Amino acid sequence: MIGTSLCCITAFLILSCQSQKEKQNKWVEQDTHPSKAQEIARLKANDFEIFDYYDEEINDTVIMQKYFVAFLMNGPNRDHPKEIADSLQILHQAHLGRMYNEGYADLSGPFEDPEGETRGITIYNVPTLKMADSLAHLDPMVKAGRLKIHIKPWWAGKGYGLR
């Protein structure tokens, strides 16, 4: 009898939690797709540089936003011992992961040319060049002089992804 009651209570709790989760997910989905007007207002309120235009081909408003592309270049101090270079690489990857997870960077990655001067890029989704520069200079590879940063502003359609 107790076992049956316990099973019924457990099933009720599980179903209740799933029902609440479904309600939360529906609310989150609605909240994550603001209207174009809401998105424009949010970006302007957070000091992002934007402009918008109506595209008749897609029958919608396109929001253009200024992003900042950080080019990671060979730095002046590339002669670290292998153990230190490997450790810095782990810290560098953790830094870039943190920038992505906290919403400061949208894309990062190395170039395939190991002998080239430009090692990779990070695209920062922040309001100002100063902020992008500050975040890029927090990278342990930059602090150690293994990389240096060159940042350029870049305009792109908000919400467009890679294909």
Cβ atoms 146, 85 nearer than 8 A: yes
On average, the pLDDT of the chain sits at: 84
- Asked whether the predicted pLDDT for residue 21 surpasses 70, the reply is no
pLDDT band at 162; cut points 50, 70, 90: confident
What number of CA atoms fall less than 13 Å from residue 20's CA on the CB side? Answer: 6
Residue 108: C-alpha distances to residues 32, 47, 68, 130, 156 (Å): 23, 23, 12, 19, 16
Question: In the numeric block, which tokens belong to residue 103?
Answer: 């919403």
- Asked whether the predicted pLDDT for residue 46 surpasses 60, the reply is yes
Average of per-residue pLDDT across 100-114: 93
Buried b (16+ CB within 10 A) or exposed e, 6-15: eeeeeeeeee
Secondary structure (3-state) at 123 = strand
pLDDT at residue 124 in the model: 98
